[in-house]
Amino acid sequence: MSGPTRVLWLAKGLGRGGAEQLLLNCARHADRSRYEIEVAYVLPWKDALAPALVEAGVRVHCLGAPGNGTGPGTGNGAGPGTPGRADPRWPLRLRRLLATRRYGLVHTHMPIPAAAARLLAPTAGSPRLVHTEHNVWDRYRTATRWANALTYRRNDAVIAVSHAVERTIPAARRRPGAWVHVVHHGPDLAGAPAGPAARAAARTELGLPQDAFVVGTVGNLTPKKDQATLPAALGGTPAFPDGLPLTRVRVPDRAALLERLGTVLDSGQLTNGRTVAELEETAAKLLDVPHAVAVSNCTAGLMLVLQAAGVEGGRPVVMPDFTFSATAHAAHWAGGTRCSPRPASGTSPSTPRTRPPASPPPTARPR
């Protein structure tokens, strides 16, 4: 292909979301000597950024409106910004667009349009396919997840917007080699006002006191993004009066996890063996330490630390009054004596300055 490579960015809509704004930011900074960029989208009522893309010199195609053509989101006949259902013939329009424009690269940004492009690409000159993964896979609806999964390996490359997103891509859907790349994106601040005057003007426009502590968030206000929790965390009205768990266990690849657990159970070694050694090696690497020792529970870990520090012969061990019983048990079993950080009147606290010097650590012996 002579001249600039013709590129199609394919999205579900062009509303004011993070993924859509990313397209506009990239369009403003793209090397036009190398790339001729066009954008296609499916939902005609999500067209808020279409005029800005056209102003940036990008040809825009609306696939989900009757009388499809090019233009800033109207689709030559659909009313801009009118919510409704996309014309179900949009895949046919995508096929015609791919066949007539003969793109060298199709860069997809949402799973359903991406799946359609992967299926249609072989009929339109087989352009290279790149997909940007903007969301974790467990957020997708079942039908969307299956459509994405069954066609995913047709991508020539995948870009994940974060390591958290990258980790949710199932291993079975990946291609060998460096196929997934993590690229962190951020807002384009080139045109953003800055400085004290801009801050004062923004606070006045939003009705905020000039000396108030303000935390802002940018993005679509949707339930799955849980913006309501932010003011609650800062002391505002609780978003969930009944409370929420502090953690949520996530198993990105259940099949891979069950396979590893099966391997451990089949080995007959639950507390030793290669799996435990692999855990220790990985932990040491992540923590940037020479060694790591896996133990059965925190009590055993505390005992090892105290023994390594030379706690024996009733040496005082300072610990909080409000703690779990195993904290004191570990100190006792290691040969130390529990000591409160708040001594009684007339006594001296047991601190590194007042206690006797430590004796050499004893040789570690298994218990």
Residue 163 pLDDT exceeds 70: yes
Residue 72 pLDDT exceeds 60: no
C-alpha–C-alpha distance, residues 300 and 326, integer Å: 9
Which of 196-200, 259-263, 279-283 has the least mean pLDDT?
A: 259-263
pLDDT of residue 83: 60
pLDDT band at residue 164, thresholds of 50, 70 and 90?
confident
Candidate ranges 71-80, 160-169, 238-247; pick with highest mean pLDDT: 160-169
Calculate the average pLDDT of the chain. Answer: 81
pTM passes above 0.75: no
Is the residue at 213 inside a domain?
no
Residue 74 pLDDT exceeds 60: no
pLDDT band at residue 210, thresholds of 50, 70 and 90?
confident
pLDDT of residue 7: 95
CATH label of the domain that carries residue 323: 3.40.640.10
pLDDT band at residue 326, thresholds of 50, 70 and 90?
confident
Domain holding 41, by residue range, is 5-182
Residues 169, 264: one domain? no
pLDDT of residue 238: 56
Residues 48, 164: one domain? yes
Q: Give the mean model confidence (pLDDT) for residues 315-336.
A: 86
pLDDT of residue 245: 52
Count up the domains in the chain and report the number: 2
- Check residues 321 and 61 and name the one with the higher pLDDT: 61
Residues 177, 64: one domain? yes
17-45: per-residue pLDDT in tens?
778 888 888 888 889 899 999 999 999 98
Residues 287, 159: one domain? no
Q: Give the mean model confidence (pLDDT) for residues 198-203.
A: 88
Q: Give the mean model confidence (pLDDT) for residues 167-180.
A: 91
- Check residues 120 and 231 and name the one with the higher pLDDT: 120
Residues 39, 167: one domain? yes
Residues 148, 258: one domain? no
Residues 136, 10: one domain? yes
- Check residues 23 and 345 and name the one with the higher pLDDT: 23
pLDDT of residue 12: 92
CATH label of the domain that carries residue 153: 3.40.50.2000
pLDDT band at residue 100, thresholds of 50, 70 and 90?
very high
Residue 287 pLDDT exceeds 80: yes
Task: Select from 182, 201, 223 the last residue of a domain.
Answer: 182
- Check residues 351 and 273 and name the one with the higher pLDDT: 273
4-22: per-residue pLDDT in tens?
999 999 999 998 877 888 8
Q: Give the mean model confidence (pLDDT) for residues 329-357.
A: 66
Residue 249 pLDDT exceeds 80: no
pLDDT of residue 155: 95
Residues 34, 135: one domain? yes
Residue 349 pLDDT exceeds 80: no
Task: Select from 149, 182, 215 the last residue of a domain.
Answer: 182
pLDDT of residue 288: 87
Residues 156, 29: one domain? yes
Is the residue at 316 inside a domain?
yes
Q: Give the mean model confidence (pLDDT) for residues 252-268.
A: 82
Residue 364 pLDDT exceeds 60: no
